[in-house]
Amino acid sequence: MTTLSAPQISIIAPLYNETESFPHLVTRLSAVMEASPLAIEIVLIDDGSRDNTAMLMQQLALIDGRYQCVFLSRNYGHQTALTAGIAVARGSEALFIIDGDLQDPPELLGEFYEKMQEGYDVVYAVRKKRKESWFKRTAYSTFYRLIRSISYVDMPLDSGDFSLISRRVADVLNQMPEESRFIRGMRSWIGFRQIGVEYERDARVAGEPKYSFKMLRNLAYNGIFNFSEYPVKAVTRLGMITLGIAFIYLIQTLVKKFFFGDVPQGFTATLFIIVIFNGVQLIALGMIGEYVLRIFFQTKGRPLYVVREVIREQQRQPIRGASTLEPSPTNSPS
Ligand code: UDP
Ligand code: MG
């Protein structure tokens, strides 16, 4: 039985139905801990898995005290699971955030840690190559470029959540009560000195991706609407341009009518314009709706997640009611 007193580093991995990759994950993480001179704890978060993941985690936590396991009450999604992990992690120096499917090699901890010693608070991974389908690679690449061009925070290209963040950055994250989280954006917003390290993103070690198309779209929306006011501004600009065109058209029509006695034709053109601008208006309303929705969810002030159980150093800590973990991620808007 191995236990750990004061971890310097926490490695955080959220898991949702990861039975197939679980044994690989544990082997690789245990090897990293054994090879490293640092005191490391592992924080695994079960995001309401429906397979054997939770059971495997329970067994592991009971025999190996270096593994801290958090079980959420249901599936909340990757970003929320990560939030729960960051709240529980006790690493006094830094938190290393990885995916549970080993697409982010945990062996890079040493390299990231060395970089942090040069005075950085965030060392984030930049994907040099992705071993994923052409469609997914293109979609990601387009998204990162779009968000970089419209966001009011300076978000690095091609970097996800895979990063080493300092204790003080984690403390700030824990204090950010925002709903519909986009952690890589929040991390950029926090500031301090941040640096990217290139790596090759591996293919998932086993099993199927757990992010559905809908979840990826929601993530992209959170990135865009939580970190940019551009969509609303663009709508206003579009409105101005349309108004300008309409005004010019009105003058032209009046001139034709009064000076040349020419009554304008063009029923089809009118219909066409009406249909187009109805579409534009609906999109514009939808965009504004995205912001309103976010206000709606945020004002409810619900906790971001509910914890079912925490197994920390073999001590089961059942947490009752709709509470979050200590240290609390400050879900009240204070
Ligand atoms: N994940 C999660 N909750 C979810 C979906 C995914 O905790 O609702 C975890 C998943 O188990 C994995 C990580 O988030 O460890 C990344 O998910 P996935 O590999 O499916 O995403 P992709 O790499 O395809 O973007
Ligand atoms: Mg993956």
In a domain, 1, yes or no: no
In this structure, what token pair is assigned to residue 78? 């990757």
Are 15 and 112 part of one and the same domain? yes
Taking the centre of ligand 2 as the mean of its atom positions, its distance from the CA of residue 203, in whole angstroms, is: 7
Nearest ligand 1 atom to alpha carbon 13: 15
pTM (predicted TM-score): 0.81
CATH code at position 25? 3.90.550.10
The pLDDT score that the predictor gives to residue 54 is 96
Nearest ligand 1 atom to alpha carbon 211: 20
Looking at ligand 1, which residue's alpha carbon is closest to its atom 21? 211
Looking at ligand 1, which residue's alpha carbon is closest to its atom 14? 78
Give the count of beta carbons closer than 10 Å to the beta carbon of residue 122.
24
Q: Which residues of 191-229 are buried (b: 16+ CB within 10 A; e: fewer)?
A: eeebbbbebebbebbebeebbeeeeeebbbebbbbbbbe
- What are the backbone dihedrals phi and psi of residue 317, each rounded to the nearest 5 degrees, phi first? -125, 85
The pLDDT score that the predictor gives to residue 173 is 96
Q: Give tens-digit pLDDT for 192-201.
A: 999 999 998 8
DSSP class of 131: -
Are 57 and 102 part of one and the same domain? yes
Are 84 and 157 part of one and the same domain? yes
Are 128 and 16 part of one and the same domain? yes
Parallel, antiparallel, or unpaired for β 67-72 and 315-318? unpaired
Please report which ligand is nearest the Cα atom of 78: 1
The pLDDT score that the predictor gives to residue 130 is 74
Are 215 and 278 part of one and the same domain? no
In a domain, 320, yes or no: yes
Query: Which residues of the chain fall short of a pLDDT of 50?
Result: 1, 316-334
CA distance 166 to 179: 22
**210 C-beta closer than 6 A to ligand 1:** yes
Are 150 and 292 part of one and the same domain? no
**46 C-beta closer than 6 A to ligand 1:** no
Burial of 51 (0-12, 13-18, 19+ CB in 10 A): middle
User: Looking at the DSSP assignment, which residues form a beta bridge with residue 124?
Assistant: 163, 196
In a domain, 2, yes or no: no
In a domain, 283, yes or no: yes
Nearest ligand 1 atom to alpha carbon 132: 24
Which residue in 334, 247, 317, 292 sits closest to 88, CA to CA? 317
Q: Give tens-digit pLDDT for 242-256.
A: 889 988 988 988 888
Are 22 and 160 part of one and the same domain? yes
Structural domain including 238 reads 230-299
Nearest ligand 1 atom to alpha carbon 47: 7
The pLDDT score that the predictor gives to residue 51 is 94
- With DSSP H G I counted as helix, E B as strand and the rest as coil, what are the percentages for the chain, rounded to 5? 50, 15, 35
**104 C-beta closer than 6 A to ligand 1:** no
Are 247 and 283 part of one and the same domain? yes
Are 156 and 47 part of one and the same domain? yes
In a domain, 4, yes or no: no
**14 C-beta closer than 6 A to ligand 1:** yes
Are 22 and 149 part of one and the same domain? yes
**209 C-beta closer than 6 A to ligand 1:** yes
In a domain, 287, yes or no: yes
Beta-sheet strand order (sheet of 94-97): 194-201, 122-130, 163-166, 94-97, 9-15, 40-46, 67-72, 307-312, 315-318
Are 277 and 201 part of one and the same domain? no
In a domain, 27, yes or no: yes
Which residue in 214, 181, 226, 2 sits closest to 87, CA to CA? 181
The pLDDT score that the predictor gives to residue 324 is 46
Which residue in 12, 92, 19 sits closest to 54, CA to CA? 19
**65, 4 contact by CB (below 8 A):** yes
Alpha helices by DSSP H, listed for 120-166, are: 134-150
Number of structural domains found in the chain: 2
In a domain, 63, yes or no: yes
Are 224 and 321 part of one and the same domain? yes
